[in-house]
Structure 1
């Protein structure tokens, strides 16, 4: 069973909090197929990951902790993009006027821990790795010293145009996403969190396998059957986000009637860090989602 969590607001919709509680409720495996953070606005998070020579974000870290399988945050997504502000304007490589992409991590350092079978190959610590990690660097962006010092970028793929990035995406990113989709579809229960207000975060994922969808925003969740939501994604207009044509949640649900609208109470900061407390507070929403999925 695959449950998809999307955001009806582009920023701070509450997707990760909702997903963390849903992992607690279902005992599922968490995924966030695409993720990113900003070297300036998320600087503390960047520093913590870079201090270990790694690139991941706080959302993936929260989901990895909530599922309780001991998986590194990088195993939840094959692509993490590091941004930085772009003072002085200009559209940048991906057409953004306010920020530019610096480097992408592509691939997952999967390991076998806490009973999670991730593949073969020994990294010397008793963990078994399967996927190598590649880095893709924007040759037109200034690379912060801390990033250059922390990450092994000597063999990074360097792109300086949209055409070059598209070619690398087809060769490198697409196979990583296809492998992730196969893993998600094989899970007993998979919780997939989207990014921003993007409606379908993983093109390789079979729409027929998504049982139900929660569209989350501050104060409420709207629940949809997976087949209806997938159909809405097919007919919705596309919008350019992060350099690709994506379907936005507001455009998808504009003409869809949810099977349920459930209030989400505001949670104090300390409760948002405790999946069990979230699961209790959002129990009605999870009940409605699982009923829509045919699980209750």
Structure 2
């Protein structure tokens, strides 16, 4: 059974909280194919990772910890991007307003597998980052064409490998990033949960995947990806379920989340087996 959790808001939709509760409910393995965090806004998480010579975020760490077994965050998250605010600087190398990408970590999913790094050659890296991560041999990109080439050469094989792992898993929960509708190209889950503050909408997986194909731009080079809003505008949900507000302590306890969100999980699982 493969389940997808997507969010209708770019940030703070509640995807990871929903996902960790779902892992506790189902005993599935969680995957976060792409993730990112910010040097400024997530500085504690950034420091915690890079001081160990690693690059990952709290979402992947929460998913890895909530799943049965022993998983490193990198094992379930093959591509992680480090951002930094760029107020007043206009659009950065990747066309983002008010923020700029610094470094991508690609791979490193196994304990003995060295990751690759892609560095934005037009950005100033934070002090000490180059000393804490092995960036001397990193691929450096200076414009969008070079970034897209790096995505084709480095990111795509890593994403294909995690897609194969998801397909082979007996039970998998795949969490998307930002408001991207589908984090793996061609992925057809059994059911989909679109999470937003206060509620979740449940969709049939095949219909959702078909709607992604209709709404799709060119995901292969990372320029355009299906946005949740464009996809769900083409569909009627199987169910709408209200989500209760949770305290920070409750959100940190997967079993507590599973209890609180039980009606939503029941609707999602019923859709998956229908």
Contact preservation (8 Å) 2:7, 2:196? yes
Work out which of the residue numbers 213, 218, 230 in structure 2 matches 1:234. 213
Q: Could you tell me how far 1:238 is from its partner in structure 2? A: 4.4
Q: SS state of the match for residue 93, structure 2?
A: coil
Partner of 2:190: 211
Partner of 2:86: 86
Tell me the distance in 1 between the aligned counterparts of 2:18 and 2:148: 33
Q: Could you tell me how far 1:17 is from its partner in structure 2? A: 0.3
Partner of 2:228: 249
Tell me the distance in 2 between the aligned counterparts of 1:70 and 1:294: 28
Partner of 2:167: 185
| TM-score normalised by L of structure 2 | 0.96
Contact preservation (8 Å) 1:238, 1:247? yes
Q: How does 1:50-89 map to 2 (within 5 A)?
A: 50-89=50-89
1:109 matches 2:109 = yes
1:25 matches 2:25 = yes
Q: Could you tell me how far 1:206 is from its partner in structure 2? A: 3.7
Q: SS state of the match for residue 154, structure 1?
A: coil
| TM-score normalised by L of structure 1 | 0.89
Q: SS state of the match for residue 224, structure 2?
A: strand
Partner of 2:97: 97
Tell me the distance in 2 between the aligned counterparts of 1:71 and 1:87: 36
Partner of 2:244: 265
Contact preservation (8 Å) 1:50, 1:146? no
Partner of 2:149: 167
CA RMSD in angstroms comes to 1.7
Q: Name segments (4+ residues, structure 1) moved above 3 Å.
A: 237-240
Q: SS state of the match for residue 30, structure 2?
A: strand
Q: Structure 1 regions of 5+ residues with no counterpart? A: 112-128
Tell me the distance in 1 between the aligned counterparts of 2:165 and 2:65: 19
Q: SS state of the match for residue 132, structure 1?
A: coil
Q: SS state of the match for residue 245, structure 1?
A: coil
Q: Structure 2 regions of 5+ residues with no counterpart? A: none
Q: Residue by residue, what CA displacement relative to the aligned partner does 1:215-263 show, whole Å, maximum 9, x if unpaired?
A: 00111110001001111111226499x9620111111111311111111
Q: SS state of the match for residue 293, structure 1?
A: helix
Tell me the distance in 2 between the aligned counterparts of 1:43 and 1:289: 35
Q: Residue by residue, what CA displacement relative to the aligned partner does 1:109-142 show, whole Å, maximum 9, x if unpaired?
A: 314xxxxxxxxxxxxxxxxx3x431000000000
Tell me the distance in 1 between the aligned counterparts of 2:16 and 2:48: 19
Contact preservation (8 Å) 2:4, 2:176? yes
1:137 matches 2:116 = no
Q: Residue by residue, what CA displacement relative to the aligned partner does 1:241-295 show, whole Å, maximum 9, x if unpaired?
A: x962011111111131111111111111111000000000001100000000007
Aligned residues: 273
Q: SS state of the match for residue 190, structure 2?
A: strand
Tell me the distance in 2 between the aligned counterparts of 1:291 and 1:54: 39
Work out which of the residue numbers 249, 258, 268 in structure 2 matches 1:289. 268
Tell me the distance in 2 between the aligned counterparts of 1:10 and 1:99: 14
